[in-house]
Amino acid sequence: MPTRTVGFTMRASCVQFYRVCPSQLRLERGPALNYYCIELRRTNMADSRLPTWRNDDNQTLQAHRALAQDIGRLLTPGEEILCVASQSPASLALIKDSVAATSNRLIYCSSHLLGRREYKDYLWEDVLDVRLKEGILTSELTADLANGRSATLGGLDKQQARRLYGACQQKEQEWREKRRIRQIEEDRARAGGVYMTSPTQTSPAEDPVAKLARAKQMLDQQLISEAEYEALKAKIIAEM
């Protein structure tokens, strides 16, 4: 149906654009005057003339493409962008900030006047936990860091924040498994009597009985297999 004019309404949180068709105009008589009552319907989100801050499932809008290009200049060889989330118009921020998850790190982007941007990045190795808090209109993403601090960005679009949170959870699980494997290797090294020596002082040898007890404890906690336990026990006995 042809469109004659385009109107918009103002709300407290954002501007919503509408398309008005001729069939949606009707004349009504009020108590003191005649006025037009306009029945509005929201314009299709695929319309390229609409503001680019609207969210789509594939994150292919112009605003996200421009942001991805800017972040892409910061990527290291082999690093790729997993997901990007920007602040929603409901956040009432004049200049929108954003956060991106890549294969190597979490990048916070703060936008300023005159096109200036500030980036803060955190390696996944240093991110202990990522939390998502959803409000009525927007969401807040918080990353807890290994140094005891946290990085937070609120006012995010809810759908974008959910996808970003999913990408963060995937990387968080990968690094949790890496930390677990590293801890097992360190425990094995301690049980096997591996010590760091300094040029001026030599660490005393550990009691073989204590070594055997520690190896048995690791077996009970299922940190090592039965075969590994037997190998450690044979090695400790041979060193006695």
Q: Mind giving me the DSSP string for 184-201?
A: HHHHHHHHTT-----SS-
Q: How confident is the model at residue 199 (pLDDT cuts 50, 70, 90)?
A: low
Highest mean pLDDT among 17-31, 32-46, 108-122: 108-122
Q: What is the CATH number of the domain that holds 89?
A: 2.30.29.30
3-state secondary structure of 126: helix
- The DSSP letter of residue 87 is B
- Indicate whether 209 and 123 sit together in one domain: no
pLDDT at position 54: 37
pLDDT at 123: 92
- Is 212 a domain residue? yes
Percent of the chain with pLDDT over 90: 7
At a CB cut-off of 8 Å and minimum separation 6, what does 15 contact?
8, 9, 51, 89
CA–CA distance, 36 with 26 (Å, rounded to integer): 6
One domain, residues 167 and 84: yes
> Of 11, 117, 27, 14, whose CA–CA distance to 74 is shortest?
117
* Residue 213 belongs to some domain of the structure: yes
Total tally of structural domains belonging to the chain: 3
pLDDT tens per residue across span 63-116: 566 677 777 778 888 888 888 888 887 777 677 888 888 889 999 988 777 767
CA distances from 93 to 97, 200, 236 (A): 8, 61, 65
Which residues constitute the domain of residue 218?
192-197+205-239
Instruction: For residues 110 and 155, give the distance between their C-alpha atoms in angstroms, rounded to a whole number.
Output: 13
Domain check: are 71 and 174 in the same one? Answer: yes
Shared domain for 91 and 154, answered yes or no, is: yes
Is residue 66 located within the same domain as residue 38?
A: no
Q: How far apart are CA 176 and CA 194, in angstroms?
A: 25
